[in-house]
Amino acid sequence: MRQVYQQLPSTLFQVTQPTPVNEPGLLLYNAPLAKQLAVPNELTPSHSEVAAYFTGNQLLDPEASLAMGYAGHQFGHYNPQLGDGRAHMLGQLGGYDWQLKGSGLTKYSRGGDGRCALGPAVREYIMSEAMHSLGVPAMRTLAVATTGEKVYRQQGLEQGAVVSRIGASHIRVGSFQYAAGQGKVQALADFTIEQLYPDAANAEQPYLALYHSVQTRLIETLVHWYRVGFIHGVMNTDNIALSGETFDFGPCAMLGDYKLEQVYSSIDHQGRYAFGNQKPIMQWNLARFAETLIPLMDGSKDDAIATLTAAVESFDSEFSHAYDTMCANKLGFSEATSANQPLVQEFWQLLQANAWDYTQTFNQLTDFLKGMDPELPVELVAWTDEWQREVNTQHALVLMAKVNPKAVPRNHEVEALISAAERGEQDIQHQVDTYLAYLAGTGGKTDASWGIPDAQFDQQYQTFCGT
Ligand code: AMP
Ligand code: MG
Q: Please tell me if the CB atom of residue 182 comes closer than 6 angstroms to any atom of ligand 1.
A: no
* Residues in a beta bridge with 13: 68
- Which distant-in-sequence residues (6+ apart) come within 8 Å of 311 by Cβ? 208, 211, 212, 215, 290
- Cα(304)–Cα(299) distance, rounded to whole angstroms? 6
pTM for this prediction? 0.98
For the chain, what percent of residues have pLDDT higher than 70?
A: 100
**Secondary structure of residue 51 in the 3-state scheme:** helix
Under 8 Å between Cβ of 436 and 238: no
Higher pLDDT, residue 445 or 12: 12
What are the residue ranges of helices labelled H in 330-355?
Answer: 341-354
Q: Looking at beta carbons, which pairs linking 277-284 to residues 24 or more positions away fall under 8 Å? A: 278/222, 278/225, 278/226, 278/231, 278/232, 278/235, 279/222, 279/226, 279/319, 279/323, 281/235, 282/218, 282/219, 282/222, 282/235, 282/240, 282/315, 283/312, 283/315, 283/316, 283/319
Nearest CA to ligand 1 atom 15: 467
Under 8 Å between Cβ of 2 and 61: no
Nearest CA to ligand 1 atom 14: 85
- Cα(116)–Cα(146) distance, rounded to whole angstroms? 10
Under 8 Å between Cβ of 288 and 173: yes
Confidence of residue 25 (pLDDT cuts 50, 70, 90): very high
Ligand closest in space to the Cα of 240: 2
Higher pLDDT, residue 430 or 465: 430
Dihedral angle, C-alpha 35, 37, 43, 46, nearest 10 °: 10
Ligand closest in space to the Cα of 162: 1
Ligand 2 centroid from CA 243, angstroms: 15
Ligand closest in space to the Cα of 463: 1
Confidence of residue 465 (pLDDT cuts 50, 70, 90): confident
- Which distant-in-sequence residues (6+ apart) come within 8 Å of 41 by Cβ? 47
Pairing of strands 156-167, 96-101: antiparallel
Ligand 1 atom nearest the C-alpha of 74 is 6
Confidence of residue 47 (pLDDT cuts 50, 70, 90): very high
- Cα(177)–Cα(301) distance, rounded to whole angstroms? 18
Q: Please tell me if the CB atom of residue 86 comes closer than 6 angstroms to any atom of ligand 1.
A: yes
CA distances, 347 to each of 154, 342, 350, 416 (Å): 42, 9, 5, 33
Number of Cβ atoms within 10 Å of the Cβ of 77: 8
Q: Best substitution site from 13, 86, 116, 273 to test ligand 1's pocket, by max atoms within 8 Å of Cβ?
A: 86
- What pLDDT does 466 receive? 65
- Cα(167)–Cα(175) distance, rounded to whole angstroms? 15
pLDDT at 467 over 80: no
Count H helices and E strands in the chain, helices first: 15, 12
Confidence of residue 37 (pLDDT cuts 50, 70, 90): very high
Q: Please tell me if the CB atom of residue 109 comes closer than 6 angstroms to any atom of ligand 1.
A: yes
For the chain, what percent of residues have pLDDT higher than 90?
A: 98
- What pLDDT does 283 receive? 98
Residues lying with their CB under 5 A of ligand 2, a single-atom ion: 239, 248
pLDDT by residue (tens digit) across 251-301? 999 999 999 999 999 999 999 999 999 999 999 999 999 999 999 999 999
Phi and psi for 251 in degrees, rounded to 5?
Answer: -100, 20
Radius of gyration of the chain (CA): 23
Q: Please tell me if the CB atom of residue 73 comes closer than 6 angstroms to any atom of ligand 1.
A: no
pLDDT by residue (tens digit) across 132-189? 999 999 999 999 999 999 999 988 999 999 999 999 999 999 999 999 999 999 999 9
- What pLDDT does 205 receive? 98
pLDDT at 364 over 80: yes
- What pLDDT does 445 receive? 78
Mean per-residue pLDDT, 351-359: 98
Number of Cβ atoms within 10 Å of the Cβ of 105: 17
- Cα(418)–Cα(252) distance, rounded to whole angstroms? 14
Between helix 393-403 and helix 358-369 the angle, nearest 10°, is 150
Closest CA to 228 of 353, 402, 408, 351: 408
Q: Please tell me if the CB atom of residue 251 comes closer than 6 angstroms to any atom of ligand 1.
A: no
Mean per-residue pLDDT, 85-109: 98
pLDDT by residue (tens digit) across 206-246? 999 999 999 999 999 999 999 999 999 999 999 999 999 99
- What pLDDT does 444 receive? 80
pLDDT by residue (tens digit) across 106-120? 999 999 999 999 999
The chain-wide mean pLDDT, for the chain, equals: 97
Ligand 1 centroid from CA 80, angstroms: 14
- The DSSP annotation for 65-133 comes to -EEE---EEETTEEES----SSEEEEEEETTEEEEEES----TT-TTS-S-EEHHHHHHHHHHHHHHHH
Q: Catalogue the active-site residues.
A: 238
Residue 377 one-letter amino acid: P
pLDDT by residue (tens digit) across 369-381? 999 999 999 999 9
CA distances, 37 to each of 30, 34, 55, 165, 433 (Å): 11, 5, 19, 12, 19
Confidence of residue 27 (pLDDT cuts 50, 70, 90): very high
